[in-house]
Amino acid sequence: MNYHSPLPDISVPGATLTEYVLGEAERFGDAPALVDGVTGETIGYRELARQVAEGAAGLAALGVGEGDVVAVMSHNQPRYAVAVHAVLTAGAAVAPVNPVLTPGEVGGLLTAAKASVLITSAEAAEKAVAAATAAGLRHVIVFGRHPGARSFDDVLASQAPPPRADIDPAAALAILPFSSGTTGKPKGVRLTHRNLVANLAQTRVGWRITNSDVMAAVLPFFHIYGFTIILNSGLLGGATVLTLPRFEPQSYLDALAQHRVTRAYFAPPMVLALAEAPGVERRDLSALRYAFCGAAPLDTGATERAQDRLGCRIRQGYGMTEASPGTHQVFEEEFARTPPGSVGVLSPSTLARLVRPGTDEDVAEGHTGELLVSGPQVMAGYLDDPEATAATITGKWLHTGDLARVDEDGLFWIVDRLKELIKYKGYQVAPAELESVLLGHPSVADVAVIGVAHAEGGEAPKAFVVRDGELDAAELMEWVAARVAPYKKVREVEFVADIPKSPTGKILRRVLKERG
């Protein structure tokens, strides 16, 4: 059966991403659009629109235009938004790059994206110049100064006329993020202007951001969650977007209090940290009204502990890079009625099915199946990979690779990643379920579960555990065994210093599998 959003379909505006997001900038005037939580640098809405226009003219003078790809590699800062929208206004597309990648990894992404220009933070400039030189890029532009790069200030100071890009929002590439690569080689995801505009319009129906909001932006803008759900949703609503370069519990809590943040956006590791961080109660967090978590499954116990301390409900959403990213959300008015752990309902103009994995057969109502979604936010396809595109999109349906169920109230619950299921003697074991059980132990600070070879079962669960106090492996396995069915028991425990994760909190299981 097809599942529908409880809200009516939307009409997707026929605008470019920048036209849609900054169309009301003049109306917001000098109200702060972006504030750097470290340096205090502030850019007002009118000034943001001016800098975007000047940046687009400067980039066009360097030869950037339709059909080009410009890579942007930086931590979160106000100039990131200026650069991205200047590139889009010039008619080019943006390939966001994680600044912690090695020069070789950066070079590989630049080559794969066919980028001609790289815009970088001063902190990553040395790496950027080396990678760009190896990849044969035309220009490197830096926020600041570096001897091997052109300054972004000089680009803004160009006296060139504004570009006249004539692109079709429905077809033109806007953003080219690369999938996280947790289960294989990263793939370039082709998101058009219409994909992103549609997702912003969809999300806005359930999350009504206004110019009275202050949004904490610590999740990276180079990830689609930070880019769409935080940065551009905030600018679209006229909010103040507070940029933070990294998450550290104490400084983050200070920022929430100092800037009177009204909306916080989390990844699971942040929630785990805030559930235990000292000093939460000493901060005045009374302005905080909504907190959202996405990017990976979130333990219900940690959610409840964190929200009790913050004084604000935390609810999950769901999406993926290939869907711009949002497909499910808990609407603001439903926060109190939606239990922690659910990802809510479908966003407007979004359809879903649950099918038996590997088939086109719908599962019976109430049963778990692979989640398929359809809507205007679904990507145009993978970059230069028609086989992967055809395997991921069949007809109008995007295969998420996630197992989900729908309860009697119509709420969706993500059960686990399809490719990460552990098959013990033919039984399917969900790592996320075991991780939730393990996190309930008072001496477990963090955990990840993978499947490893097993003589009798073929494959069996192994837990990588970060201890918080004294803990014995055998005792922990007995503790889990008392709480799960026999085939779900953890058969091996390895204590580690940390769990490898992506910037948005997804467990990098392939790294753990390499450890064995």
Share of the chain above pLDDT 90, in %: 77
Dihedral sign for Cα 70, 73, 76, 80, please: negative
Q: What tokens appear for 238 in the block?
A: 């006229």
Dihedral sign for Cα 410, 412, 415, 418, please: positive
Range of the domain at 89: 45-166
Q: Please say which residue of 127, 148, 166 terminates a domain.
A: 166
**Rounded CA gap, 326 and 313, in Å?**
20
Q: What tokens appear for 467 in the block?
A: 């201890």
- Determine the average pLDDT of the residues in 41-63: 97
Lowest average pLDDT, out of 30-34, 291-295, 455-459, 466-470, goes to: 455-459
Smallest CA-to-CA distance from 349 within 204, 235, 230, 232 is with 204
Split into its structural domains, the chain has a count of 2
Residue 185's pLDDT band (boundaries 50, 70, 90)? low
Does residue 481 form part of some domain?
A: yes
100 versus 351: which is more confidently predicted? Answer: 351
Does residue 70 form part of some domain?
A: yes
Does residue 428 form part of some domain?
A: yes
pLDDT at 181: 39
Does residue 279 form part of some domain?
A: no
Q: What tokens appear for 400 in the block?
A: 């998420």
Residue 426's pLDDT band (boundaries 50, 70, 90)? low
Distance from CA of residue 159 to its chain's centroid? 36
Q: Please say which residue of 166, 186, 209 terminates a domain.
A: 166
Does residue 228 form part of some domain?
A: no
Whether residue 502 has pLDDT greater than 90 = no
Q: What is the CATH number of the domain that holds 438?
A: 3.30.300.30
Does residue 74 form part of some domain?
A: yes
Whether residue 476 has pLDDT greater than 50 = yes
Q: What tokens appear for 85 in the block?
A: 């929208």
Q: What is the CATH number of the domain that holds 120?
A: 3.40.50.980
* Ramachandran angles phi, psi of 272, nearest 5°: -60, -40
**Rounded CA gap, 9 and 5, in Å?**
8
Tally helices (H) and strands (E) across the chain: 17, 29
Each residue's pLDDT tens digit, 194-241 = 999 999 999 999 999 999 999 999 999 999 999 999 999 999 999 999
**Rounded CA gap, 459 and 305, in Å?**
34
Whether residue 68 has pLDDT greater than 80 = yes
pLDDT at 408: 93
Average pLDDT of the residues of the chain? 92
**Rounded CA gap, 191 and 172, in Å?**
9
Does residue 212 form part of some domain?
A: no
Cα angle: 425, vertex 428, 429; to 5 degrees: 105
pLDDT at 421: 76
Does residue 173 form part of some domain?
A: no
Lowest average pLDDT, out of 12-21, 146-155, 173-182, 403-412, goes to: 173-182
Dihedral sign for Cα 189, 192, 198, 201, please: positive
Q: Please say which residue of 121, 139, 166 terminates a domain.
A: 166
